[in-house]
């Protein structure tokens, strides 16, 4: 099995969901970003999702927009983002998924970009603004290279498109638990279990749920119905609140992640 398959299989054996954690690569600077990745891996993250800093992150709320801004202001480059993945891969086998936007890929040449990701040890690619109907070239290049394509299903996605997305996806399917952009929310939508069930009608891939999950009870609620729980903004806030003090940022992230991950326990 590949690393993503292995992570979800291990979680199933342990009777729990996978914890997928998002950080923006290079936030607030390269060395701190690497240490934050180490912290999550030591804490037991199942899948590490790295956001590729972008000037126009359309699907991201304020928290992740500011994270991308901090990373870009620190001077992070596309080459350094790849190097971050290499540095993480050097000390662990945790699956790495890049969370990106299509312009960053198209401008570099899709096949060349995929090859660079695989060479750096990246396992999957989630392109926020690329629907599967427009992604044939990227999907073909990814399958040839062994890179998984994670696609998003939204609450507004009709059943016929769920089937189309599921057909194109590999690795896992990412269900966005609510309309809008990323960000912490006090309450989750009430139709998550029904939506996950509908996706499972069309695919045997694991289904992970994200957007808005910010506390332990929400993690527990989602973990009861989904194969994976994705948390981003609640973790990224730890960095934003301590961006001038790397040690404090690492300590805050470690504590927050441990608390949230506790929601996976039955």
Answer whether 47's CB lies under 8 Å from 7's CB: yes
Spot the catalytic one: 27, 46, 49, 123.
Answer: 49
Answer whether 138's CB lies under 8 Å from 107's CB: no
Catalytic residue list contains 60 = yes
Spot the catalytic one: 27, 60, 87, 123.
Answer: 60
Catalytic residue list contains 46 = no
Category of 146 on φ-ψ map: left (φ > 0), alpha (ψ -120 to 50) or beta = left
- Which residues are the active-site residues? 49, 60
């Amino acid at each position: 099995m590949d690393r993503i398959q292995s992570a979800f299989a291990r979680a199933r054996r342990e009777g729990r969901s996978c914890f997928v954690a998002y950080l923006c690569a290079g936030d607030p600077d390269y060395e701190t970003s690497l240490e934050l990745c180490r912290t999550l891996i030591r804490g037991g993250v199942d899948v590490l999702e790295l956001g590729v800093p972008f000037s126009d992150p359309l699907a991201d709320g304020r928290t992740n927009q500011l994270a991308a801004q901090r990373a870009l202001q620190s001077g992070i480059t596309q080459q350094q983002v790849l190097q971050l993945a290499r540095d993480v891969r050097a000390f662990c086998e945790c699956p790495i998924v890049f969370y990106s936007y299509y312009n960053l890929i198209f401008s570099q040449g899709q096949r060349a970009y995929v090859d660079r990701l695989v060479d750096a040890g990246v396992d999957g690619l989630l392109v926020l603004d690329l629907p599967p109907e427009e992604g044939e070239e990227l999907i073909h290049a990814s399958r040839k290279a062994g890179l998984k394509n994670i696609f998003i299903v939204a609450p507004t996605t009709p059943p016929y498109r769920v089937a189309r997305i599921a057909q194109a996806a590999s690795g896992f399917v990412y269900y966005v638990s609510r309309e809008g952009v990323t960000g912490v929310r006090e309450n989750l939508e009430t139709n998550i279990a029904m939506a996950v069930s509908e996706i499972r009608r069309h695919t045997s891939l694991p289904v992970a749920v994200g957007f808005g999950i910010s506390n332990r009870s929400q993690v527990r609620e989602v973990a009861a119905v989904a194969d994976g729980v994705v948390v981003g903004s609640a973790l990224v806030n730890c960095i934003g609140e301590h961006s001038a003090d790397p040690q404090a940022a690492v300590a805050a992230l470690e504590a927050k992640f441990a608390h949230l991950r506790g929601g996976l326990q039955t």
